[in-house]
Amino acid sequence: MESTRVITEMILEEAKKTAEHVVQEAQKSAEETLEKQRQLGVQKANESAQLLFKKAESEAELNKLHSMANAKIKANWVILSKKEAWIDNVLNEAKNKLRTLTESKEYLSILEKLITEAGVILGGKELEVILNEQDSTLPLKLDDLAKEISERTGFETKLRLSEEKPKVIGGTIVRMANGKVIMDNTFDDILRRREKDLRSEIAKILF
């Protein structure tokens, strides 16, 4: 009877060990399955995250480039405006100086020179001299100027003061008697004609 009891206990013991092993293995397998899934989830999320980081970095870079480009445009515009304002100031001051010059004694000879040059360019003959109100009162020696133009062009020249009184700073407009060709030697027109060169020259000196 004793040996039977030993045998039956061994059978039960063996069965319990087997059962315990089966359950432990199953638990281990279940944990491994869950861990594997967890790692897979992390891996997939990391793959998406890489794209997310790249997108964030490129968006940030783009925003930075955009704001820098805007700032550069703005800064360049401010500097350019400042330069343009200074160039305008110089031109305005030059106009003021020219106005002052028209009040001076030396202006008469300057005006005569401008009339002569215009007359020569037009080729002499019968010419009309147009001056502003103030300059029309100056003691111009038109006959002497006509003589000089005749000598330089080879054509007999006559100068006549026009009744027209344009509102200009100073200088003269000389017109052929037939009215077909004019030479504008007013300070206003010289400034206008040469504005591009003047602005460039002013910029070189100022900055």
Q: Which is nearer to another protein, 128 or 187 (CB)?
A: 187
For position 201 contacting another protein by CB under 8 A, the verdict is yes
As beta bridge partners, residue 184 has: 173
Residue number with CB closer to another protein (86 or 155): 86
Q: Are 102 and 114 in contact (CB under 8 A)?
A: no
- Tell me the backbone φ, ψ of residue 159, rounded to 5 degrees: -110, 135
Q: Name which position in 130, 140, 172, 187 contacts another protein (CB under 8 A).
A: 187
Phi, psi angle pair for 139, to nearest 5°: -80, 70
Q: How far is the CB of 181 from another protein (least distance, A)?
A: 23
Separation between Cα atoms, residue 175 and residue 128, nearest integer Å? 5
Residues 48-107 that bind another protein (CB under 8 A): 48-49, 52-53, 55-57, 59-61, 63-64, 67-68, 71-72, 75, 78-79, 82-83, 86, 89-91, 93-94, 97-98, 101
**163 contacts 155 by C-beta, under 8 angstroms:** no
Task: Give me the least distance between CB of 25 and another protein, in Å please.
Answer: 7
